[in-house]
């Protein structure tokens, strides 16, 4: 056989084996990706998500309380006249012993 024919056979054999190997790799990659998507999340991730939700809810509640506090402070600052009579200090009473 001629040298060119031998070279062509070697190149075709190497190319075919590389193509088959790449197809096998791609198939395995897609199988693993599908398995990962079907697998339920780890318990640590579920717990972490719950902690994140609790932190977000707590932040909303703290902001709500802060807003209520600012509103009451504003109302008290705007009030110019007292609502009821001024409180007098109690009279001193001497009790026998």
Rounded average pLDDT per 10-residue block, the chain, 97 residues: 90 96 96 85 84 96 95 85 62 77
- For residue 87, the model assigns a pLDDT of 63
Q: pTM score, two decimals?
A: 0.40
* CB-neighbour burial class of residue 22 (10 A; exposed 0-12, middle 13-18, buried 19+): exposed
**Rounded CA gap, 28 and 20, in Å?**
12
Place of tokens 């339920």: 40
- For residue 83, the model assigns a pLDDT of 58
- For residue 39, the model assigns a pLDDT of 77
- For residue 51, the model assigns a pLDDT of 95
């Amino acid at each position: 056989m001629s040298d060119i024919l031998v070279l062509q056979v070697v190149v075709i054999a190497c190319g075919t084996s590389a193509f088959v190997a790449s197809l096998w790799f791609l198939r395995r990659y897609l199988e693993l990706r599908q398995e990962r998507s079907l697998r339920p999340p780890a318990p640590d991730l579920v717990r972490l998500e719950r902690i994140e939700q609790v932190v977000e809810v707590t932040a909303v509640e703290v902001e709500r309380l802060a807003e209520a506090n600012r509103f009451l402070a504003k109302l008290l600052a705007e009030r110019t006249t007292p609502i009821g009579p001024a409180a007098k200090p109690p009279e001193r009473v001497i009790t026998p012993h």
